Amino acid sequence: MNIGIIGAGAIANVMLGRINHDAHENLKVNSVLVRDMEKYQHLEREFGIQLYTDLDDFLASDIDIVVEAANVEVAKSVLPQVLREKDAMLISVGALADGETVAQLMQIAKTNDTALHLPSGAIGGLDLLQNAQSHGELESVKLTTRKPAAALTYERIEAEKAVFEGKAADAIQHFPKNMNVAVILAMAGIGMERTQVILIADPRTDKNTHHIEVKGVFGKASFTIENDPLPENQNTSYLAAISILGTLERMNRNFIIGG
């Protein structure tokens, strides 16, 4: 599978290293779309890729799928055109926080027979939510996220403090850069309006921790993920980065587990 990446930040560099540098058996990054050609010229030499600054030229290159690894604003601006021509994987899932965007992208994908893939990112257990929700047997989903205080508030605090408590739809509006997990959880489960979120600023931690509680006709489930950051970029979750690679690898398999 030939891959095109939008963006050249931490996640793009992890992909280039794990796929091209390590000579992945079934995957190869061929093209990368950037804003500044000169700044990222070294990537061409280091990883054997072609840089582009024009979206049309990028989409016309030898790629089967586009991985968006930029930011919410870029994702919103380019995804409609990308999905008219290619399958895509969205990393900045905050772009799907409003129903209008979701409906638009779903229609474009359906009309053009393309697909938008959303990797699990910094959490797991999404197969459980999707399986329960597909039969309407999911009753409640609650996410409690704990992050270093400096990531959530400018206020100097000595003890942990809940900076938000309410539905996912409101959490995303108030903390757009910190609620990717809430978006993917809500989309896999019972939606933005019914998914409950508690966001805690904790001055005593240097990790992001997500605790998820699920109830339904099937029973109850809970799981906790404590994320270490990428060594290359302390602002990016290690699990979020490798979930992209795992999703791409599973798309190429003939033997599929779960889902």
Report DSSP letters for 137-190, one per residue: -EEEEEEEEEEEHHHH-SS--SS-EEEEEEEHHHHHHH-TTT-HHHHHHHHHTT
pLDDT of residue 259: 57
In the set 21, 24, 117, 210, the catalytic residue is 210
pLDDT given for residue 255 in this prediction? 76
Q: Which residue ranges are tagged as binding site? A: 122, 180
In this prediction the pTM is 0.89
Q: Cα(61)–Cα(50) distance, rounded to whole angstroms?
A: 9
CATH class of 126-227: alpha beta
Please report which confidence band the pLDDT of residue 178 belongs to, taking 50, 70 and 90 as the band edges: confident
Q: Burial-class residue 39 by CB neighbours within 10 Å (0-12, 13-18, 19+).
A: exposed
Percent of the chain whose pLDDT exceeds 90: 65
> How much is the average pLDDT of 205-211?
92
Query: Angle of helix 126-133 relative to helix 180-188, nearest 10 degrees?
Result: 40
**Is residue 21 annotated as a catalytic residue, yes or no?**
no
CA nearest to 178, candidates 146, 155, 204: 146
Name which of 10-19, 61-70, 122-131, 190-199 the model is least confident about.
122-131
Residue 189 has pLDDT above 70, yes or no: yes
Taking residues 4-20, report their average pLDDT. 94
In the chain, CATH 3.40.50.720 sits at 2-118+239-251
Euclidean distance between CA atoms 75 and 216, whole angstroms: 33
Enumerate the known binding-site residues for NAD(+). 122, 180
pLDDT band of residue 234 (cuts 50, 70, 90) is low
Residue 149: the pLDDT is: 92
Amino acid at 53: T
Arithmetic mean of pLDDT, 45-56: 97
Q: What pLDDT sits at residue 190?
A: 94
**CATH code for residues 2-118+239-251:** 3.40.50.720
Q: Where in the chain is the domain with CATH 3.30.360.10?
A: 126-227
Of 247, 110, 101, 121, which is closest to residue 184 (Cα–Cα)?
Answer: 121
Per-residue confidence (pLDDT) for residue 202, from 0 to 100 = 96
